[in-house]
Amino acid sequence: MPPRHMVDAMTDQATDAEPDIPGKPTSASRTTLSHIMTHSDTNLLGTVHGGVIMKLVDDAAGAVAGRHSGGPAVTASMDEMAFLEPIRVGDLVHVKAQVNWTGRTSMEVGVRVLAERWNESTPATQVGSAYLVFAAVDADGKPRRVPPVITETDRDRRRYQEAQIRRTHRLARRRAIRELREKRAAAGLED
């Protein structure tokens, strides 16, 4: 069973009894983390290790989640980490993150990964993307409320709508897996 804050982040529902928290615009917490890739970042093929990029993605998304929620936030899940192009030593990597959607105690952060040569003036190209769900927590690790996200542009509104679709799919997948496991247990089958 996952920790309680992760379960809450997956089922995150607002209740009418809770007071409203003022919303925050997407631009209030949007951030970019940039890093030059070196030989210590490479895998056996000589390109940058996917785990290095995943850490940068989690770092940038965590900063955005903490800024938006006004305090600590922990990674509850990562969806759709896509690597579109290899990243090489000497690439300047930009990890751009913003809050796409908020629930009661959780938020989805969208991340785009771009790369450009450190010594060239060519435009950066997108080399990856990911969606992460963060749960805001208090000093005791208990879930805490987050401000609603206020979309500012048509792109922000599209991202918000797409995030709602991803949330619906996460919940449906979790429910289907739980039901399958319950059926298998009832039939006496072991995992």
Count of structural domains, the chain: 1
In this structure, is residue 57 part of a structural domain?
A: yes
Distance CA 190, CA 71 (A): 42
Q: Which domain holds residue 125?
A: 24-187
In this structure, is residue 82 part of a structural domain?
A: yes
Contacts with 55 (C-beta within 8 Å, 6 or more apart), sequence order: none
In this structure, is residue 5 part of a structural domain?
A: no
**Strand duo 31-36 + 73-83: pairing:** unpaired
Distance CA 161, CA 153 (A): 13
What pLDDT shows up at residue 73? 97
Q: 25-39, pLDDT tens digit by residue? A: 999 999 999 999 999
Helix (H) or strand (E) holding 66: helix 50-69
What CATH number does the domain containing 51 carry? Answer: 3.10.129.10
Confidence of residue 190 (pLDDT cuts 50, 70, 90): confident
Residue 8 reports pLDDT greater than 70: no
In this structure, is residue 130 part of a structural domain?
A: yes
**Single pTM value for the model:** 0.86
Please enumerate, as own/partner, the contacts of 110-117 that have beta carbons within 8 Å and a separation of 24 or more.
110/159, 110/163, 111/57, 111/60, 111/61, 113/53, 113/56, 113/57, 115/85, 115/87, 115/88, 115/91, 116/91, 116/92, 117/90, 117/91, 117/92
In this structure, is residue 11 part of a structural domain?
A: no
Residue type, 4: R
